[in-house]
Structure 1
């Protein structure tokens, strides 16, 4: 059974797409646009031609607070903030929530917060197969591979997982996250994101309680050495029910071979039958934090599909979303979101 839901979204003549919960494919607008290409050329010129010399995330030059101000704060560019924070939070909420999982009754849909379904990159409607509606990802334990001192994903996941472990690869970002968890007076203020997380739950308040739930359910933050054979020492963590990675693999991997090796290390921490929720960037070049340019591994959708299959994952959902408004902070073609289940050991 399939439920067709008509949404009054902004019209989009350049983006024709239909989204299915079982397999999502998004096509890029035709042409690409001369103005957009010129913007990228100007951006690369402003970088001084240092794309090949860009730094990597786990180096000391990465400023956690500058990263927050650029991509995650209430003052960030609205389009950039939507793609980095808004879309992932809504997507996670949609995947983890159980609303309409076992019922297609229209009255239940009418009481559901519509904004959970709506994305500015989607056309006027999409299809929801009720029998496979997101919300079936269950479990007690989550391992999160983080980029930056990022809290927004935990504000969603804390409602669905009792034990959360964060793996961090940058010392400064690890320190900033631990500051927030310990209520340090100089910790980054995530109030605006906590309030948005509450709105996804259909609540107008309660953000302080949500913050406390995150602090309660994050059991540990582990500093990792990405060059080691394993991300954590054997026996430190039991296999998790779910892995979450939002751009973490992209920024710690030197090249595609390194991406594959790091994905295998991640997969080793997930139990068979568990889920991987992966966000990444297609055909990325670099991103900026302050005055520094940082490396992102470049890959396309075909490579990503093969890498996941080779690491023992079976696809349940893949969504490739073209980039929105051009930003001078990052160059990429599209965001990709994957929900996959581990079906075997690599």
Structure 2
């Protein structure tokens, strides 16, 4: 794996957002990372939302690439979802799916996984349609601004989901805490944060590009959340069991937390 110092930064340099989906979230036989990138998040999100205490009017998604499978469970519990992206290419790819345009990425395998995990075929018959209805807006954001969606001012969210984004926008652990603070400002007191990330990663490959990743462990992310005023309600870690030259993470982590009042 190429040294992190030679990698591109996710939010500063261009990369092929469609290739990201093909390499990490597809159902192709050669895509070996599905247990960690698809099944692990879907299982934990399904269990977390099924408890019934994370719900409300407004959810913000701040996640890597144009992925949508992490929103399938959430769309049942929130009236409105706003997706924030740092890349125009990600927005175009996501809107292609939202608008059911020709050539959109096929997320049918994710719908099938939800059906198998949730076990309710009747509710899942139009799972993709429910996600499309819930996603009200896809908005470009600038993570360096005080208001990341300037000039748009968003209402404070009942919940934020951030999947793998912090891994790839942070140069240092101080950056991680700084961006976490920015995300927290988008959240109501008492609101919930769901965080998915990779532990021990230095880089990921997308097509011909190497994308930087911040290396951190479970202890660091727990300490960072508590330091920013969060109470951790649940934490699951799954060690990597598959071999792939695409990326060098050691484990994936899922955390559900709430912001203190």
On whether the aligned pair clears a TM of 0.5, the verdict is yes
CA distance in 1 between counterparts of 2:194 and 2:14 reads 29
How far did 1:64 drift?
1.2
Alignment of 1:274-313 (within 5 A): 274-313=191-230
- Give yes or no for contact 2:147–2:153 (8 Å, CA) kept in 1: no
Deviates more, 1:317-326 or 1:258-267: 317-326
1:164 equivalent in alignment to 2:81: yes
CA distance in 2 between counterparts of 1:161 and 1:273 reads 16
CA distance in 1 between counterparts of 2:115 and 2:162 reads 22
- Give yes or no for contact 1:143–1:243 (8 Å, CA) kept in 2: yes
CA distance in 1 between counterparts of 2:180 and 2:77 reads 24
1:267-290 residue CA offsets vs partner (Å, 9 max, x unmatched): 001111111111111221111111
TM-score by length of 1: 0.71
How far did 1:61 drift?
3.2
How far did 1:327 drift?
1.7
CA distance in 2 between counterparts of 1:137 and 1:207 reads 20
1:88 equivalent in alignment to 2:41: yes
Alpha-carbon distance change, 153 to 294 in structure 1, aligned in 2, over 3 angstroms: same
CA distance in 1 between counterparts of 2:123 and 2:222 reads 39
CA distance in 2 between counterparts of 1:205 and 1:301 reads 38
CA distance in 2 between counterparts of 1:161 and 1:298 reads 33
| Structure 1 residue runs without a partner (length 5+) | 1-43, 98-133
How far did 1:320 drift?
2.4
SS at match of 1:163: strand
CA distance in 1 between counterparts of 2:151 and 2:66 reads 26
C-alpha RMSD over aligned residues: 1.9
Alpha-carbon distance change, 184 to 207 in structure 1, aligned in 2, over 3 angstroms: farther
1:51 equivalent in alignment to 2:21: no
Deviates more, 1:64-73 or 1:299-308: 299-308
How far did 1:235 drift?
6.6
Which of the pair has more CA radius of gyration? 1
- Give yes or no for contact 1:314–1:340 (8 Å, CA) kept in 2: yes
CA distance in 2 between counterparts of 1:282 and 1:218 reads 29
Alignment of 1:1-346 (within 5 A): 44=1, 47=2, 50-75=3-28, 77=30, 79-97=32-50, 134-204=51-121, 209-233=126-150, 236-344=153-261
Deviates more, 1:295-304 or 1:239-248: 295-304
TM-score by length of 2: 0.93
1:309-328 residue CA offsets vs partner (Å, 9 max, x unmatched): 12111111222222222321
| Structure 2 residue runs without a partner (length 5+) | none
